[in-house]
Amino acid sequence: MNWWQSILIGIVEGLTEYLPVSSTGHILLTQKILGIPATESSNAYAVVVQVGAILAVLGLYFQRCRSLLDGLLGKNPQGLLLLRNIMIAFLPAVAAGLLFDKRIEQYLFGLWPVTAAWFVGGVAILAVAWFKRNAAPGARKIGLSLEDITPKTAFLIGLLQCVAMWPGTSRSLMVIVGGLLVGLSMIAAVEFSFLLGMVTLTAASGYKMLKFVKHPELLQDYSVTTMLLGIIAAWVAAALSVKWMVGWLQKHGVTVFGYYRIGLAVVVAGLLLAGILQP
């Protein structure tokens, strides 16, 4: 991988990490288009570059992150409760990752599984949007805030996040939709997605980085400079993407992402059937 490819993949990661469209799926597609082979190194790089997206949320939500730290130090009770709920939501992903990480990389890191996940996720987004629009007024829940999340609802959201281990599903999609289904307001569901994502991505990136420590030969394919360029590109792109996403979702909801996912799935499936792309 050369320097401009690492920057391009970093941009793709940053733009799509927090959107409900699947960053992993987009990176796999980008790698296919660029002719980058699917290897242990490329799969690890796709996770390591997420550090840039983590830094973006840490900067944009610094005060909220600081409240979590203050809560851990006993200075902010609300921050401690939120941190507790984030960790509860994070635990199912830890268990699922330890159990299924190798099998997922072996069987699901291909364009056909990703395309299927894009399509199903798109249909799910449109179904949830339709349900919320057509629910009887008495059946609609008042939008809850982050402070209203309970351990039970946090755990349910965490279980849904596990579904996103299937590349193409989208971690942010599952968390946002899960948040909406348990009664969170759109802004609360999005913010919880960002905060939970920061913890989840940090753990996943750290786990993959251990591979570079244990297997330094991987650095022959992806140098430190290459990884840093990708991380910086992801940082800038994610900051722009998050700012845009918050404003868009408050005004327009998630419907557009459903149509985008379905359209992308149809296009990629067509290219695969035509032999233009290789699975």
Q: What is the largest CA-CA distance in the chain?
A: 60
Q: How far apart are CA 92 and CA 164, in angstroms?
A: 12
Collect all residues with Cβ–Cβ distance below 8 Å to 48 and sequence separation of at least 6.
205, 208, 209, 212, 227, 230, 231
- Spans in the chain with pLDDT lower than 50: 139
Using alpha carbons, select from 124, 141, 134 the residue that is nearest to residue 183.
141
Residue-by-residue DSSP string for 19-45:
TTT-HHHHHHHHHHHHT----HHHHHH
Q: What's residue 105's pLDDT? A: 78
Q: What's residue 254's pLDDT? A: 86
Q: What's residue 8's pLDDT? A: 95
Q: What's residue 3's pLDDT? A: 84
Q: What's residue 250's pLDDT? A: 79
Q: What's residue 129's pLDDT? A: 82
Using alpha carbons, select from 129, 109, 127, 128 the residue that is nearest to residue 117.
109
Which long-range contacts (C-beta less than 8 Å, at least 24 apart) are formed by 215-221? 218/40, 218/41, 218/44, 221/1, 221/39, 221/41, 221/42, 221/45
Q: What's residue 142's pLDDT? A: 57
**pTM for this structure?**
0.87
